Amino acid sequence: MKKNILSIVLILITGITVAQKNQRIAYIDMEYILQSIPAYLEAQNSLDAKVEKWKARLDKEARAIEVLKTDLTNEKAILTKDLIEEREEDISIKQESLRRLESLYFGPNGDMYNLRKQLVKPVQDQVYNAVQTIASRKKYDFVFDKSSDLVMLYSNKKHDISDLVVQMINIDQRRQAKKDKIEAKKSLLKNDNLSDEQKEKIAKREELKKKKEADRLAKIKQIEEKRKQRLEERANKRKLLQEKRKALLKAQEEARKKKEEEETKENK
């Protein structure tokens, strides 16, 4: 029976291996890609600011309830039964109100979910569209996300298409910026009779766009440097672990030989 099961397993493994020979597989690092897109970072910062504001309000309400509880405990001895029940009911109402407010902010369909969808989802959709385009062009059968729950015990860098995704998104953004610039020029040509004040406002907007683009490129460069540093640190850690493992195996082998020698001496 065991031999039959083993045979079936071997056949399945062989079949999967053969099938995979004709499959093209790639992976991305979604975390790295998103951190390379300034629009995502701006959206995430806006979301984080809102979340901090909501948490501060919830903490304030929770502290106020704790104060009421403490006051009731300290004054319980001098209060009538009706006053105690009234205060307890007031505390209970405030606790229920706090729970509703927490659900409103952080519930399944709360403000945080809706705001994340509004701010972050468009950027994520842009990433997914870029991945699908690259996978279609390069004929990949599977594209995995390295930063997801998928456990990747080993990943060859040549299969990482994260930089391709970032490049494609940057190209799309540059195309859009170029279109916007053309539209702005057309708008200027149509409005030759603009006042000096209007012209100054338009010039300021253009200057602001240029500054944002320069900041975006600087952020991408900084992110790339950090990523390289993380990769180097990981490589150094792997090297150190391998050296420790070799040293441990060597020590175990020496201990085994020593034990065998001692046993041989005792037998003599």
- Does residue 222 share a domain with residue 127? no
CA gap 231, 167 in Å, rounded: 20
More confident residue, 148 or 229: 229
Give tens-digit pLDDT for 43-91: 888 888 999 999 999 999 999 999 989 988 888 888 888 888 888 999 9
- Does residue 98 share a domain with residue 63? yes
- Does residue 213 share a domain with residue 145? no
Among 185, 220, 235, which residue terminates a domain?
Answer: 185
Q: Which long-range contacts (CB under 8 A, 24 or more apart) does 45-50 make?
A: 46/119, 47/112, 47/115, 47/116, 47/119, 47/120, 50/111, 50/112, 50/115
Residue 170: phi and psi, rounded to 5, are: -65, -40
String of DSSP letters for 151-212: --S---GGGB-HHHHHHHHHHHHHHHHHHHHHHHHHHHHHTTT--HHHHHHHHHHHHHHHHH
pLDDT at 15 over 60: no
pLDDT given at position 29: 82
pLDDT given at position 188: 59
Looking up tokens 């672990």, which residue turns up?
Answer: 241
- Does residue 240 share a domain with residue 147? no
Query: How would you class 36 by CB atoms within 10 Å of its CB: exposed for 0-12, middle for 13-18, buried for 19 or more?
Result: buried
pLDDT given at position 12: 45
pLDDT given at position 57: 92
Q: Evaluate whether residue 265 is within a structural domain.
A: no
- Does residue 161 share a domain with residue 124? yes
Give tens-digit pLDDT for 152-194: 444 466 667 778 787 877 777 777 777 777 776 666 555 555 6
Q: Which range among 111-120, 184-193, 240-249 shows the weakest confidence by mean pLDDT? A: 184-193
> Tell me, what DSSP letter sits at residue 144?
E
Tokens of 137: 């062009």
Q: Evaluate whether residue 9 is within a structural domain.
A: no
- Does residue 181 share a domain with residue 49? yes
Q: Evaluate whether residue 16 is within a structural domain.
A: no
The answer to whether 169 touches 126, Cβ cutoff 8 Å, is yes
For residue 207, what are the contacts with CB-CB under 8 A and spacing of at least 6? none
pLDDT at 11 over 70: no
pLDDT given at position 80: 85
Q: Evaluate whether residue 122 is within a structural domain.
A: yes
Among 140, 165, 185, which residue terminates a domain?
Answer: 185
Q: Evaluate whether residue 260 is within a structural domain.
A: no
- Does residue 173 share a domain with residue 43? yes
- Does residue 160 share a domain with residue 38? yes
Domain count, the chain: 2
Tokens of 44: 């995430």
CA gap 170, 38 in Å, rounded: 10
- CA 136 from centroid of its chain's CA atoms: 25
Q: Evaluate whether residue 181 is within a structural domain.
A: yes
More confident residue, 35 or 7: 35
pLDDT tier at 148, thresholds 50, 70, 90:
low
- Structural domain boundaries enclosing 245: 197-249
The answer to whether 145 touches 28, Cβ cutoff 8 Å, is yes
What predicted TM-score, i.e. pTM, was given to this entire model? 0.48
- Does residue 29 share a domain with residue 161? yes
- Does residue 207 share a domain with residue 179? no
